[in-house]
Structure 1
Amino acid sequence: MIPIAKPYLTAEDAQAAYDTILTGWITQGPRVQEFEEKFAAYTGAKYAVAVSNCTTALHLSMIVAGIGEGDEVICPSMSYIATANSIKYVGATPVFAEVNQEYNLDPTDVEKRINSNTKAILLVHQIGMPADIDAIKKICSRYNLKLIEDAACAVGSAYKGQKIGSHSELVCFSFHPRKIISTGDGGMITTSRKDYYDRLRLLRQHGMSINDRVRHNSKKVIFEDHIEVGYNYRMTDIQASVGIKQLEKLDWIVTERRKIANKYHEALKNIEGIRLPLERERYFSNYQSYSIYLEKSFPINRNRFMQELLDNEIATRRGIMNSHRETAYKHLEDKVNLPVSEKLQDRSVLLPLYVPMIEEDVKFIIDTILKLTQLKTV
């Protein structure tokens, strides 16, 4: 079976975790700080704060941005459900907006949904393809709104020459195994604001005024205070030690992923009924996923296409979910009109893409797809 994805983890990563375990410092500590500093430098951000996953990163970002009860936050429905959930966590309401053919928020549709209760826009860089940050920032400036970036899929991607993570006040990343680099699980928030940085660090560790490392290294007895109600959203030093090694390989991993994506692109670009991902000029995708869209003119429907590939031991996944169609948000379905998002979910397929991926497997996937173009509609 050719899997849809798998993390690129090496003996070097395992050794880093092993070495950290032997130090005896396995929770949040010096390796976390090192990972944060190196991640900030990589993205071009002023600060970075490591957390337990991207969902907790989004939650804390909502809090420091001042989002709360009665507020509305505009976001895509076409995103993993954690995007909308993070808004609900702070008592605010997600307002689902339409996306464009690149799977990201349509700025024109976003602006139509702004009202007096709108407090922020949560922008998602879906499947690693950068969204139009400048257009959304202009809307935020025009209406005095906060901008938060859900960059769960976008580590290593770039927008107009700058790495994702350096454009906005709050940008959230994921290190889940389906992402470009992994720490098993884990997340990171980059920010340009010192006040956000300080509060994020406070909130991730129970609102504790003095962290464990400071107490451990102190030559005097000191006692912590818990300044506000916080959370246990810490990353461990074991995870961070792996993250440091993964970060060293990130650019190479992205280069290799883009080579595979280009093979798909070259082989499928002239196939009637298949629409390929669009990477605009000065947009740089890490190709966290490679999604193709099957037009009505394609010989078979999306579900049969996926089954035929599975019968040939090729794993795929459906198009990105629409949160308003999930049971948790089903009550909003009748109030939401998002035809582009729904068609993208219903007619898109994610193809296998991971590093390393052998040439024979890529060729077999392409050849199998080309054979399916010869099938008759049933």
Structure 2
Amino acid sequence: MTGVSLLAVGFGGTSAEAAPDAAPTEQQLGDYIAAGLKQAGPVAGVGTGSACTSGSGAGSGNGSGDCFGGSGSSSGLSGGYSSDTQGYGPAMTSWTAAFGYGLANPDAAPPETNDWNCKPSAEHPRPVVLVHGTWMNAYNGFAFMSKPITDAGFCTFTFNYGRSNIAQGGGLGSVLPGVMGTGYIQDSAKQLATFVDRVLAATGAPKVDIVAHSQGGPMAGWYTKFEGGGPKVQHMITYGATNHGTSLDGIGALGRAVNNFGIDVLGFVELFVGHAGIQQTIGSDFVNKLNAGGDTVPGIDYTVVGTRYDEVTNPYDLTFLKAGPGAHVDNILLQDGCEQDVSDHLTIMYSPRALSIALRALDPAKHPDLQCTFNPWVIGGGGSL
């Protein structure tokens, strides 16, 4: 849910020099929302989610799925599509520079990805699929991580998903050509399913590993649970994933509670952040269904990375998963053993430590050690552009 992070970066008052104030627990937020649900009843004119239709493959406009937008999901029509990248952008160490380049070059691929002639080796038998977050795209999501992962010997692939305009519910941010990941998350999961099948067909591999940021985490989770992806994924590595929703420093939880009393606050907010943004708030129908049967899928190994300074997936521990039967979960707080890495929701994807966590999860024998360097808010890249 990276779009709202841009607002937080521009207007937020939290400093990375000191740890944020103690956040309410997930249970406290859940109890608060539940109190509103108990009071809520049918209210004329208030939406409760709707069915939606969107593209299920690159450049396609077909397919359908339930949207589960939640109470107050009322803006825009359904729709959206995914697309392949075209050409390559430069490697970047700074999130700020990469984000700007991605806005101006929305279809660029991050370095050394999408070699459709790449064949996995016996040492690295699974291709890696990189999944960007809300208001991001394939390039600025992975302009730092893609080359080192490919250079480590992996076939690496990525694409742009959830491309929706204002009429399709993408929110005002979608007027910018590089803003993607705004359509209904269930539709984006169908687009991911199509892309993974293409990768498996091209490489001949039986499974993929997924590296995902923000919305990419729960979107990939929906894919593994409801779109047939479970048997096709071995490792799931996520950063700042909104796996259990987000309070947005309490704003999302408050909006959900107000909506439950019959005032369509979130529907108004959705006009700005898009369908996917509002689906990621605590207590949404999407979040509830995603986690109703447990956090994990049997047979998948999860590496879940959170940062104490995440202003979007907030409280940050909402990203962490509880292992169910047949699954393994490694929940990692980025600052454990490395307090100087103060990455926020966005710059975590430009953190050398975060990259080293991915490499260790993908190939622990060759990459057993974690890096520890200074990585600041907003800029990333060690503080330089």
Q: Which has the higher contact order (CA 8 A, sep 6+)?
A: 1
Task: Tell me whether the two structures share a fold, i.e. TM-score over 0.5.
Answer: no
Instruction: Give 1 or 2: higher helix fraction.
Output: 1
Q: Which protein is bigger by CA-based radius of gyration?
A: 1
Q: TM-score, normalised by structure 1?
A: 0.31
